[in-house]
Amino acid sequence: MAHGAAAVPKIPPGFVVGAKAVLRTAEGKRLRRVIVASDAPPAATEPVRRLAREHAVTLVEVPSSSELGRFCGLPRPVAAAAQVA
C-alpha cells in the first residue's frame, strides 16, 4: 500500500452496513439477520427494529456502535447492519 493511502474497509461478504442501507436493501432482498447497536440513536435504529419485527427477521443487539463498526471493518461507529440471503 502506498504511503498515506487509506485502507479499503473490509465489510464482511453478504452484509450491508448502515441503517439507511439496511432499509433500502430490505426492499429488494431477503434479510437473514439484522444487527443494531444498543447505544445508537433511536431515530436510526427504530425503523430497522420495526422492519425486523414486520418481516420476522432475527434481530441481534450489540452493546456499542463502535463494536459493530469494527465488526464491519470500519473505523467509525455503525448503528445497524444486516446479513442478506
Domain contains 57: yes
Residue position matching grid coordinates 479499503: 8
Domain contains 10: no
Domain contains 74: yes
- Run of H or E residues at 71: helix 65-71
Rounded to the nearest 5°, which phi and psi values hold at 41?
-60, 135
The residue segments making up the domain with residue 52 are: 15-84
Measured CA to CA in angstroms, residue 72 lies from 35, 55, 61 at distances of 11, 23, 14
Domain contains 3: no
Long-range CB contacts (within 8 A, 24+) of 2-6: none
Q: Does the structure show a pLDDT above 50 at 1?
A: no
Per cent of the chain over pLDDT 70 is: 88
Task: Report the number of distinct structural domains present in the chain.
Answer: 1
pLDDT tens, position by position, 54-83: 989 999 999 999 999 999 999 999 999 999
